[in-house]
Amino acid sequence: MARKLAAGNWKMNGTGADLAEARALAERHPSPSVEVLLCPPATLIHRMAEALSGSAVMTGGQDCHAAPKGAHTGDVSAEMLAEAGASHVILGHSERRADHDESDAVVRVKVEAARRAGLVAILCVGETEAERDAGRTLDVVSTQLQGSLPTGTMAEGLVVAYEPVWAIGTGRTPTVAQIAEVHDHLRDELATAIGSGARDVPLLYGGSVKPANAAEIFAVANVDGALVGGASLKADDFSAIVAALEGAVGE
């Protein structure tokens, strides 16, 4: 049975003053029945990890370089993230794939780097609106998943997040049936790729997840949590999403 995870992606948002939101979240969920993770910009990882020390809320990164060190100005290695206090790292997010031309091959070596450094990789897949309209959704997510998973990948240390590109930050979300179709398909694809351990890989949904729709999304089979963008920036909003996931676990 896959563990349940509510993960927040702050993207390029947040300064030191916003650590108060992270602390407030931890205070509201001192002993959550699900895993809770915040991924701030790299400048805040160490400070957030310190601010959350002793709490149940974990800290993660938003990307890493494939190499452990070297002449890569502006990049951060997986080992550096781990040393700063990160336990997870988001990889292959659609904004990285689009804005930085990251291919599946690039994402794959980053997933390998995360494993090398002992980080949990949150591997993102998802289709554009044009791909959805063309009926290519399942082909697109299959290609991304297969191309981004290193040979010998195990369930331990892996999370997969389905984020339809057209739903990220737009306020639009797929129907429950559409989410179910993709998540069921991803579970089957994982079974082919890694065998029986596929059932232990958390499958997250991401794309305009809000307190108002979280419970409905978490009720879908094979949805083990969410990768949340804007709603994770405020403790009030993200706490409600965490509570919705805890409620789904308790049902």
181-207 pLDDT tens trace: 999 999 999 999 999 899 999 999 999
CATH among 3.20.20.70, 2.130.10.10, 3.90.550.10, 3.40.50.2300 for 5-250: 3.20.20.70
Reading the block at residue 250, the tokens are: 């308790």
State the Cα–Cα distance between residues 91 and 119, nearest whole angstrom: 11
Q: Identify the sign of the CA torsion 186, 190, 196, 201.
A: negative
Q: Which entry of 29, 93, 183, 185 is annotated as an active-site residue?
A: 93
Q: What is the CA radius of gyration of the chain?
A: 17
Reading the block at residue 219, the tokens are: 């009720």
Q: How confident is the model at residue 168 (pLDDT cuts 50, 70, 90)?
A: confident
Q: What pLDDT, in 10s, does the model give residues 210-234?
A: 999 999 999 999 999 999 999 999 9
* Residue ranges covered by each domain of the chain: 5-250
Examine the residue annotation and report whether 163 is marked as an active-site residue of this protein. Answer: yes
Q: Which candidate, 167, 72, 81, 92, places its Cα nearest to that of 118? A: 81
Helix (H, G, I), strand (E, B) or coil at 171: coil
Q: Are 186 and 141 in contact (CB under 8 A)?
A: yes
Q: Which entry of 79, 163, 185, 189 is annotated as an active-site residue?
A: 163
Overall pTM > 0.95: yes
Q: Identify the sign of the CA torsion 1, 157, 228, 164.
A: negative
8-state DSSP, 232: G
Query: Higher-confidence residue: 24 or 152?
Result: 24
